[in-house]
Structure 1
């Protein structure tokens, strides 16, 4: 028998409700949220649909009531994110209660696995097509406003949608060229007197020649390729430095901060 099952039946006298006991707690609506709400209201005339992101673990109490009142004039989809962290045993009851509150369009999501993220755009498109767009009726593009209180996963939802629908995020290294990126980082590190790469990759001294540095890195890390070379006496297999693999490791180390703190933009 699992310990949790034993404890459920054995522990008694636990509190059934939480009492603040007169302790002072932070007010619900801090100043920066009031400013954000004001900015949202001014932008509503160009918005076709509201995508409200909220934490699935607090589907009722955590939503800002002023947010609901102020932004209820546009089609609205409530995304209850972080469903992987929520106990959804009573999911149907949650949906029923939300519907009683006027929320008919609710979606549970998990951005770590992109679960249900693909359903957002079709739902939003349907909501927009079934609503009056007023002064935006002739505009073929749709404007979606993502809203929600802090730390509920708004950025995670946006990034998941970009990843699934646009198939893009930042520019991929190979589109620029790993060796070009490594060369620029080498230049920057040397220019700012950041020579941590020397010790990290077992170099004897700083060097400004990227080909030489990448060759040393490849040999130090054992990143080599077997190459067959044809000679006058027959084919010979030799090991050559993998410059691309070395460049990738150099870039990775830079991004992880292993090569020191650097400011790429200069004031």
Structure 2
């Protein structure tokens, strides 16, 4: 098999050698780092897959001239984006499968999608999969930050607090300048207040006064937490590797 680590543009490049060494110890010798938004390194996949399949026993499929490859991974890592990127590179064609910035866009195993003419290669997109039981809470939080678990199942406020803790722990202080803070901070409420002010995340609330109901504009902390998470996932807070 080939292990594709997508969204490399969002990860800390200094951690790549350690990641490769760790995977090598686990028996993963065919690893490709990709950025499907810019087609980075994607062109390496088809020749590598063709070589591996060509050197493997094909049994009753020995006479077949085409390759059918199953794409498997956790939710929201870019499996559909990978297929579309391969089609752009090798067939000069557009999207064949829907993509989105949240888990659960692909809901069923789809039909074969051609991604290359020579060699004739088809990929099959599949829904994201996770272990039925995660090892610990921190693993679940990391998956949630990456968008592999729907935000509302964990809570945007809890995720934002863990994200701030992680950024400070790794000395990734890009959020300080982005949101106009004076210095690094471990108070998530203060950070979300600055996010709300900087991004205009407000909501109108009716307040009962002695003269009746009055509409008051207040900062929206839930919207600020959502924006904080989205900025992280878009790489606006720096390139971070959680593991």
TM-score by length of 1: 0.44
Larger Rg: 1
